[in-house]
């Protein structure tokens, strides 16, 4: 079975234009994706391992998130990751099976805590959401209704700095991402988290609907991902990146 999967995956990739065989991700999303992290972070390590098991030597490239997404949507790159679903993305992208699940929470400055218990508790506040990050439907509705304001800097470190100086009231992010970034910035003791989770998220590898051969590649990738996630090697990879007990 492994041999046949390798042959199919290799044939699929060889049929694609060389430029479109590139898979892209981004930086400043520790512990999941950053070229400065060991193996590029958990998500990068996972995607690379799945593709290697299928017999591919993946060409992974780190780019600004917005650029990588646009290249993938246009078929200039084969795929990008990790992304959560929202209606805008579903309109132009195909999604793999879930790479992993984690919980997003409301993150705030301890000097101005937020007792989050639903969208009403966020009314009148300013969200910081980096460019290219997901905008959840309920957040978009609140922004459209002017119940929320938004800051959109280039990356998550900038959002944490905005939170620190009072330019934003909250961020929505998973604990592993925020803890890693806050630690790098020396802000760990200044941030707090709402007890009530905002949402459980699945993160995916995505392919542009206009990508030649993209659907076929995604099908092969899903087969490889499913085989890897039931193996002991997957649990070992989760532990290697310090995420055991944090994601599923």
Return per-residue pLDDT of the chain as tens, 248 residues: 333 444 444 444 434 444 458 999 999 899 999 999 999 999 999 999 999 999 988 799 999 999 999 999 999 999 999 999 999 999 999 999 999 999 999 999 999 999 999 999 999 999 999 998 889 999 999 999 999 999 999 999 999 999 999 999 999 999 899 999 999 999 999 999 999 999 999 999 999 998 989 999 999 999 999 999 999 999 999 999 999 988 98
DSSP-based three-state secondary structure for 13:
helix
What are the distances in angstroms from CA 239 to CA 11, 113, 122?
33, 32, 35
DSSP-based three-state secondary structure for 114:
coil
List all residues 6 or more positions away from 86 whose beta carbon is below 8 Å from its beta carbon. Answer: 134, 135, 136, 137
Q: Which residue has the tokens 């705030």?
A: 108
Strand intervals (E) in the chain: 23-25, 60-62, 79-83, 93-95, 100-109, 126-128, 149-151, 171-174, 191-193, 199-208
Pairing of strands 79-83, 199-208: antiparallel
Beta bridge partners of 170: 127
Token duo for residue 9: 């995956």
Token duo for residue 64: 């600004």
Please give the Cα distance from 84 to 200 (Å, whole number).
10
């Amino acid at each position: 079975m492994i041999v046949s999967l390798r042959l199919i995956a290799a044939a699929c990739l060889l049929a694609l234009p060389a430029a479109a065989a590139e898979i892209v991700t981004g930086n400043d999303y520790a512990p999941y994706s950053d070229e400065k992290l060991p193996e590029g972070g958990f998500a990068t390590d996972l995607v690379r391992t799945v593709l290697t098991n299928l017999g591919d030597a993946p060409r992974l490239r780190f780019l600004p998130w917005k650029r990588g997404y646009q290249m993938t949507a246009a078929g200039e790159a084969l795929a990008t990751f990790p992304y959560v679903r929202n209606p805008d993305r579903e309109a132009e992208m195909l999604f793999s099976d879930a790479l992993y699940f984690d919980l997003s929470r409301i993150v705030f400055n301890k000097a101005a805590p937020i007792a989050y218990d639903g969208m009403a508790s966020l009314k009148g506040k300013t969200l910081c959401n980096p460019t290219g990050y997901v905008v959840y439907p309920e957040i978009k509705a609140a922004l459209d209704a002017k119940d929320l304001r938004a800051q959109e800097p280039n990356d998550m470190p900038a959002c944490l700095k905005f939170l620190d100086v009072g330019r934003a009231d909250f961020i929505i992010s998973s604990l592993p991402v925020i803890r890693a970034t806050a630690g790098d910035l020396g802000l760990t003791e200044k941030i707090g988290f709402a007890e009530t989770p905002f949402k459980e998220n699945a993160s995916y590898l995505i392919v542009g609907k206009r990508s030649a051969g993209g659907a076929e590649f995604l099908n092969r990738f899903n087969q490889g991902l499913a085989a890897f996630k039931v193996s002991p090697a997957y649990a070992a990879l989760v532990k290697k990146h310090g995420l055991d007990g944090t994601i599923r």
